[in-house]
Structure 1
Amino acid sequence: MFLGIGEGMQIHGIVIKMGLVCDLYVQNSLVHLYGVCDDCRSAGKVFDEMPVRDVVSWTSIIAGYARAGLFDEAVTMFLSMNVEPNTATFVSLLVGCGRSGNLRMGRRIHGLIFKRASKVSLEASNALMDMYVKCECLSEAKQIFHELPKKDIVSWTSIISGLVQCQRPKESLVLFRKMHSSGIEPDGVILTSVLSACANVGDLDYGRWVHEYIDRRAIKRDIHIGTAMVDMYAKCGCIERALQTFNEMPCKNIFTWNALLNGLAMHGRGYAALKFFEEMVGEGSTPNEVTFLAILTACCHSGLVDKGRKYFNQMISQQYNLSPRLEHYGCMTDLLCRAGLLDEALMLVRTMPMAPDVLILGALLSACKDKGILKLPQDILDHLIELGTVDSGLYVLLSNIYASKQRWTDVTRIRRLMLEKGIKKFPGWSVIEVDRQTYEFVVGDLKTWSC
């Protein structure tokens, strides 16, 4: 049973009364205790008062600082060590490197590990792989993974979860299949990552298989797995199954609510999203920026202008005091433009604390085209030049607006600007799945006719 900081301090007091405070084993235990409880000040005090320190002492204080996010202090301690570090020392430092994104120090530690050890332990290899994943250096992580003579569940979890986090879901699913065929039983952490990968690529069949596997193996469906299931079903087009899974969950956190609200928004279920939002607030959950983005998206897709205004104002009110990001302004601009409220949309864009992005400019341009307005595009062209965007869609849309009014000089000007910037119009493409194989099509493509 793990003791809290209060009980730990009581034991520390008893240790002092019994005269055991100078015992190295006891001192190391106290440093470790305070480090685990994120009380680095007390851990440092005990460490500084130690007359003798061994590798366990140094590793405990380094691990405590790294766990608390005090990476500079952890590195300072490491550089001050007067004893030979061991695997646990390096692992503690690598954890800090990963959390802080300090790739330079991580590579330095990598070099030290190989320099000091003829054979790198599995624990150190897993820590190195996890560090590279968190620093988004997948090539190094994959190299370490493939060179491992033996892989455990931690190895597989690190690389598969890392691929999902770095937006490489297809690769993660390939590796998961290899892991499963090798006889290693996945745990809840890796299954959560696999469900997220299925959601990202829209692989409903495999997502269902994972769901059935969890139930068949009686794996505890915790809040993380449940949330991943809701997200997977919603993104794969099964909103009713997402709702069923959501309602079956005994406990929900803000991520669970956000997954459902996003799914309802994507499926045009605006009123249902608003209903669940009010239910969420009624149960005591506090919405965050992601929640409001989902609600504004729901309002946008369902044309709920008044509701959109209400929730946007609620977001910035004293009740929640959240700062809208560019995505929130983009949703509101799109909502107003779709409703034909171009003047209100322009006013909103002009009062934004940041410059509009490609999506906002695109919404304004589309509204201009629908209304046949030509005054606004020149202002937008200036923004396009300032942004330096290479999105051909906006330039083509602007050109089409001028062409519809037979303003050929302006059309030529836009086309010339595209040539000067090296902007090309790329053909549209679509994806279908046949017999668990994904096929991509572009205009005029005859290569994939066999599917």
Structure 2
Amino acid sequence: MITTSRHLKHYIFLCNPTKSSLPIPQFSIIQSRLHIYYNCIASITVGFPLPFFTIIRNFIGKCQFPATQASPNKEEVTDEVFNQILTSVENASRPNTKICTAYVDKFCRAGNLSAAARLLQSLHHKHIFLNPKAYNLLLRAASEKHDIDLLCQVFKDLLISNGVLSSTCYADVAKAFTKTNDGVQLLRFVKKVSALTSPSATVVNRIIFAFAKCGQVDKALLIYDQFKSLSCKPDLFTYNTILDILGRAGRTDEMLHEFASMKEAGIAPDIVSYNTLLNNLKKVGRLDLCLVYFREMGENGIEPDLLTYTALIESFGRSGNIEESIRLFNEMKMRQIRPSIYIYRSLVSQLKKMGKVDLALKYLEELNSSHSDLAGPNDFKRKK
């Protein structure tokens, strides 16, 4: 079958001005409109058989000549294309979602996001539901264009139809807000989204995490402050995320305040909560508080893990209490927690600074002999 784009190219060839009886000014108008029409159609040609000669005849018949000429309207052309696409999909024995997704992709690549959105909406109204890929394509395009209104609508549609979204979708939402400081618009979006998923806080948690991950800490905290007025409420994951955000930003006092608020709200801290505190307190040299929360862990029956011992061993080493570092290191091995190369390097470095070269060489040899059995980067990943 001859493709639609080839039909149109052939028709333009037949309209060569050397063979046309039309006056040159009138022909130029037709040729210009045909060129616009061809660019629109060629950008979405993915396999549907369309009666193009009929469309073009009708299209040329609508051409306005110098006396009543108006600029070509892209939306009018798009409407005609939509009618053909929708008719073909409706008449198909089984709608081809891959072809429909390809149309959305073509529109997005051409920068015509409104056309892609209209196509998805029209298919939805006709109870033709596409796979999430089509919505993801439009979501990404809206994010890159910073089209907040379109992005919010597509995100909500995805959430309603699919439920569980990928981390990429949340990242696209966060990136879309990088060029705006409109907190009202952001909070309005979060409020609408939370209403769709109430009483679960999972979606809002992932939005907060995405904003923090792309460097928009203040907006992440703004969303968190809004949590109290939402139908869903902060949970353990919410607090752990906020503790991490504040700790990384060096806002230690605020981190400790949120930790206290967490317990006041009746949410028991877990190993992630305590490790977040210990790791960030270590960075600011608060060994006293590290010991307080380490003891609190034991009182609450929470077993320390590799991250816990790493924070404490490094804290004692930096404070000059290398004996306590070694004691904790041996305790960790007795608990059958695999040491990491980072702990060995920390011990060796601190021992050398203190002039305990023989002991440093001992741990260096131990490191080299057990290198393959040491904990790797994956063991330091934050628990979900």
Give the structure-1-normalised TM-score: 0.43
Return the index of the structure with the highest Cα Rg.
2
Bigger relative CO (Cα 8 Å, ≥ 6 apart)? 2
